[in-house]
Structures are given as C-alpha cells and as structure tokens.
A = this chain, B = another copy of it.
Amino acid sequence: MTTQHAHRVVIVGGGFGGLYAAQSLRRAPVDVTVVDRRNFHLFQPLLYQVATGGLGTGDIASPLRAALKGQRNARVLLGEVRDVDITARQLRLDASVVPYDTLILAAGVKNHYFGHDEWAPLAPGLKSVEDAVEIRSRVLRAFESAERETDPARRAAWLTFIIVGAGPTGVELAGALGELAHHTLRGEFRTFDPRESRILLLDGAPEVLSSFPPRLARHARDTLEHLGIEVRTGCRVAGIDEQGVDVCDRGQSLRLPARTVIWAAGVAGSTLGARLAAATGCELDGLGRVKVAPDLSVAGHPEIFVIGDLAHVEHEGAPLPCVAPPAMQQGRYVARRIRARLMGRTTAPFRYFDKGSLATIGRHAAVANFRGLQFWGGLAWLIWLVIHLFYLIEYENRLLVFIQWFNNYITRHRGSRLITELTRVRVD
C-alpha cells in the first residue's frame, strides 16, 4: 500500500512538550499538526507573576502560529479534542476529525481538588491565563473591600490570604503576594496599612518544597518567614468556604477566617489520559497520568506517545515532576524517535537529564539544586532569572519581561494590577 500523503504527526497541546516536539520535527519528512484549544503557548513558570500583577498576560503568552510560522511542515488547529479513535487513528474535534499516523498527546494537567470539586470556585488554582487573572482580581478586590470595611474582624478576613500547597507554585505565589502586600501597596490605602495583611502558606507535608533537598527547603522556609509569610506545615485542609478554611494543624482542628484562598496543592492528568486508558487499556497513575513505555509510547500502540505533565515517567525511583524541563526533553525525544523510525532505525529509551531544580521566593531570593550543588539567596535568584528569560519563546517577550522585572525590582512597582470583569459585553 502506498500513501499519497507524508507521515502525519498530530500533537495535542502546545505547551512545552508539544511545541518542542513540533519544532524538533522541523526537518523531518512529516506533516505536523498542533491541536490546542488555546491559540497561544503559555510560559507557565511565570504565571504566578500575572496572578500578582507583576506581568501582563501578553508578556508570557506567545501565539502558537507565530512560534510555528516559519515551519512549512507544521500547521496549527484551534480546537478542543473530544475523543481519540485509536482504531481509525483519528482525533475527533468539535466539528471535524483529524487523522494521524503518529499521535503525540501533550495535553497536560488540570487543577485537582482530591475529591472536593466544590472547592474549585472558592479556591482557584493557577493553571491558565484565566486562572491568573481571576486570582489577581480576587486579591486586589480583597484589598479594596478591606478599604471599605469598618469592622476590624471582617477587615482582617479580607486581609488574610491563604495559599494551600507549598510546592514551587505555592512558594512563588506566597513570596510575590508578600512583596505586593508589604511593599508595592504601601501607602495606597487610607483606612489600613497593607503590611497588616496575613499571608498563610499551608501544606500537609512536614516541610515546604518537599521535592528539594532538606537544607534548601529550610532555607526557603526561613526566607518566606523573613518576608512575613506564615508557613504552616503538617497542616491539612478539611474544608473551604467563602469565609475561611478549616484545617487540621498537627491534629488540632482550627478555623482560619480568610476571604481569599488559592489552590496550589495538586494537579491531575487531563481527561484525555482517561480516554486513552479506556481505549487502549494503558495504565494510569493515581493522578490520572499515563504510565508510558520506556520510549514514551503507550503499551501496544507504538504510534501513540504521551509526553509532558500528562506522562508518568519514572526517574531515580520517583515520577518526574510536572515542570517544563521534562516536557521539553520528552518533546525533543519523541521527535527524534519518529524521525528514526521513519528511517527504519531505532533509538535508546528516553532518559531524563536532570539539569536541576529551581524555585524563586521573592526579591533576590531563590533556591536552586544543580545535581547536588545547592544555591540559595541572591545567586540562586539570578540564575533563576537568567534561565527563565532564556526560555521565553519570543525575543519580544524576553525583552519586555526583563524590563518589567528590572523596573519591578528597582521600584517594587507592579503595573498590571487590573481588576477585570467577566461579563461578556456591557451595554451600559
């Protein structure tokens, strides 16, 4: 049988995994289609900056079409994948089907509330641009409500911000919120001092940043506390409502009144993972991520790869974390594997090269772990800054982010402090 068309590679998701896979197939004799429900690649590592007004949404988003503009063998299709038909080898979108010869699923993860979906509207997570804008609005609106409030207890609840989850996202959010409340907003209110704000960072684990070496985690905690963040580890959330959070703090039940709660405690694989499991019988881990073969393909389906946050890949006895570097490396790996396969060659299994891990805490404070070399403080922060600027897809973004950063750093100013509304079109 001869086919008229080139080998069709369809990639679901334009995040780090999907985009790097597409770009790495630049010179391969294939037709690449990137399907995403969003029209932009999002630089998620800086999303917390949007949530705290330090950067605008456009600064960390690059149109997928612009990123793949010059790549003649690639096209972008905006759409939501409804189903994968693994027999007919095609994706079903809302109004069309997209046939594939090779499928790369890089659909990522979603916020996960551990069986408490009712918490979602009360404590938004930080996965999308909309999430970030929503959190930004809630935080700024809380300060505005505090300015209008005359009752001290109610004002205190408006000025209390609880972040659930002390992984890198929670730590970064807490640090940026601390900067906002204790420095940026100083002098802007007349009925209270924003430095009265309480920022609580809760985690059920015994220490923050549990994926980091203990020494760095302790440094991170010290820095957070120095910034005025109340860190409560060994503290589990039992309930969330509009007025606060019920926690179990080292066995004691406690009520924390707060009007703003942010969820940074957990993610779970995209529902496409479950669809795939139902169709192929592949195994999922406890978070709904797909357990893949050593070449990142799905058992029994060498034509289907899963990469990025949605893939469960073991590394040194633990699954890789949901961060950008594994996704990038996996994207490049499957591209190489597809090219090799088309030439009748094979490749070694995927192996993650751990360049290190980084988390920023605030103004010249971060922790970094590079293959055993541990940094903290200003040097780690500088490394963090350079690496993050380097990986921004577009030159323009890199320049703008750098300038805003520099300005925010010097002046402690945060310019993108818009409370925006979600109504569609207003007539009045």
Contacts and interface: CB of A to CB of B under 8 A. Distances in A.
A325 interface: no
Interface string A55-93: 111110111011001100001111100000000000000
Interface in A132-169: 133-134, 140-141, 144, 147-148
A131 interface: yes
B66 A188 contact: yes
Contact of A396 (B77, B128, B404): B404
Interface in A86-132: 95-96, 110-111, 113, 117, 120-121, 124, 128-131
Contact of A148 (B57, B77, B110, B424): B77
Given A148-B96, A425-B121, A427-B110, A415 B77 contact: no
A370 interface: no
Interface string A273-299: 000000000000000000000000000
B394 A415 contact: yes
A415 B427 contact: no
Contacts of A44: none
B130 A426 contact: yes
A187 B66 CA distance: 9
Contact of A427 (B120, B129, B148, B397): B120
Contact of A415 (B62, B128, B413, B423): B62
B75 A190 contact: yes
A415 B428 contact: no
Interface of A: 38-40, 53, 55-59, 61-63, 65-66, 69-70, 75-79, 95-96, 110-111, 113, 117, 120-121, 124, 128-131, 133-134, 140-141, 144, 147-148, 185, 187-190, 270-271, 394, 396-397, 399-400, 403-404, 407, 411, 413, 415-428
Given A61-B418, A397-B415, A140 B39 contact: yes
A58 B57 CA distance: 8
Given A148-B77, A394-B415, A418-B40, A110 B58 contact: no
Contacts of A421: 130
A270 B39 CA distance: 36
A424 B133 CA distance: 10
B131 A425 contact: yes
Contact of A400 (B62, B134, B400, B422): B400
A65 B140 CA distance: 11
A58 B415 contact: yes
Nearest to A408: B396
A81 to B, nearest CB: 12
A111 to B, nearest CB: 7
